[in-house]
Amino acid sequence: MTVQTVAVEPFDDQKPGTSGLRKKTRAFRRPHYLECFVQAIFDAIGGASGKTFVLGGDGRAFSPEAAQVILRMAAANGAARVIVGQGALLSTPAASHLIRKRGTDGGIILSASHNPGGEDGDFGVKFNTATGGPAPEPVTERIYAASRDLTDYRIMQTGDADLARLGTQAMGDMLIEVVDPVADYADLMENLFDFRAISALFQSGFRMRFDAMNAITGPYATEVLERRIGAPAGTVIRAVPLPDFGGAHPDPNPTWADTLMAEMMAPDGPDFGAASDGDGDRNMILGRGVYVSPSDSIAVLAANATLVPAYAAGLAGVARSMPTSAALDRVAAALDIECHETPTGWKFFSQLLDANRATLCGEESFGTGSNHVREKDGLWAVLMWLNILAERKESVREILEGHWRRFGRNYYSRHDYEALDAAVAERVVAGLRERLPTLAVQAIDGRTVVLADDFAYTDPVDGSVTPGQGLRIVFGDGARIILRKSGTGTEGATLRLYLERIVAGPDGLTEDAQEALAGIVALAEDLLRIKALSGRTGPDVIT
């Protein structure tokens, strides 16, 4: 086995986004492209010599080949050990747990999360630090700087490792440890939740449907829900991970999980429904005839967390991304705990979790999690709901409506305009940004603007400031209009428009969300002119 040093010209497009580097699969297949980014990771963290890493991903197209390249590069760069999920498979939360449990120096996760897969789809590479969380901005900036200064990369000339066989093997001086990708994570879930109570719920005739969307959560959900808890066989559907996710879009929302939506909205639908995404870190929650928005979900989980064994002692605090509705804020106020408002991206939550300033965190983009790992966790959120349902012995609808009666309802929706021409998207953003100074303390459509700004976040732990995180207009009655560009797309630009209106109750709590927000939607179009400037008749996805 010899180490080859390959001279290269650096690529100029390897700046990590919200969660790693995401490009089209064919972009990663270009000669030297993957290798340059991986070498930039190793260079940015002070080298790989003597270090231990975790490696795995969601199994999308190009993952097996990429895993072999990364192993050969780790060996060439002097790594001591790489712990790999069997078949190069690991959900993102399972990878985070393994990094933390084994005390490694970090991990490389092969995934583009909820983005479509396959040869015509997307691929991604993300580095997580020794905390188990996504690399914070100073680290991603170092990775980007290293990628621009790169002159060569190092790779070992050797055959492929056998990633189908559990156990330890050598690649030069480096050890490769192939582990069961599911077992450690399933054990963690069993320690957090009351599996006996959830099992009794199923034994009572409770019916559930979990759509794994032919993505990585399938094996995890099958092991936990069907084997360990005892849910009936077939509770988990589309359970086998496929390189192209069966041709479907692995994003758990009402648009892309429409088959599950139809089943759950039927009069004889299951009692509980859920879906998870490509890499297992997102979730969608449904009851019979009712959809639970991610913003409501994290608020309900926080309000009921002490019913779950792992959180029985209470919460240190909670956190939400800025675009997420303020429903969580009122729960935090009632519990007399801190509530943090962060930019979008789980890396901002990780700092709060490490400092014990938060226990539960949530994003409007179907991400929910806790301090058990340093990533959002789709199956964890499902189990939280199941444990609460088992304890309260009420339906999802009853719990949700009871929550609104107690705290009021934040009617909320996200409208996505996908794959816009980048110049058009920038025109929309620039147009609103220019108007922000003139909007403050104005009356618009009968509402008084109390805040109009470009959100900047000051981290309460280290004092670092992250500017430019989304344009927001906040009204005196609590209504909000927020606009930001997505950091997870790979084609054109995606604009996300967030709309919120608060109803204190006791009346007006059970309207259809889109109907309740119709006035805010119209006001947003008057202010932003997205449809007019883009030529679109409406958003591509509404959640």
Helix (H, G, I), strand (E, B) or coil at 21: strand
Mean pLDDT of 197-205: 98
Q: Is the pLDDT of residue 490 over 70?
A: no
**Any idea which residue has 């889109």 for tokens?**
514
Q: Kindly indicate the confidence band of residue 67, based on its pLDDT and cuts at 50, 70 and 90.
A: very high
Pick from 171, 183, 187: which is nearest to 68 by CA?
Answer: 171
User: pLDDT value at position 310?
Assistant: 98
Pick from 238, 229, 282: which is nearest to 19 by CA?
Answer: 282
pLDDT digits (tens, 9 = 90+) for 337-361: 999 999 998 989 999 999 999 999 9
The reply to whether 113 belongs to the active site is yes
Q: Which of 96, 113, 147, 293 is the catalytic position? A: 113
| Tokens read off for 436 | 């922000």
Pick from 214, 135, 187, 104: which is nearest to 375 by CA?
Answer: 135
Domains in the chain, ordered, with CATH? 2-180 (3.40.120.10), 185-407 (3.40.120.10), 409-542 (3.30.310.50)
Dist. CA 113–CA 84, nearest whole Å? 19
**Any idea which residue has 């996908």 for tokens?**
418
**In contact, 100 and 49? CB cutoff 8 Å:** no
In this prediction, what percent of the chain has a pLDDT beyond 70?
Answer: 99
Neighbour count for residue 289 (Cβ, 10 Å): 13
pLDDT digits (tens, 9 = 90+) for 127-180: 999 999 999 989 999 999 999 999 999 999 999 999 999 999 999 999 999 999
Q: Is the pLDDT of residue 36 over 60?
A: yes
| Tokens read off for 439 | 């909007």
Dist. CA 290–CA 302, nearest whole Å? 20
Eight-state DSSP code of residue 228: I
Neighbour count for residue 19 (Cβ, 10 Å): 27
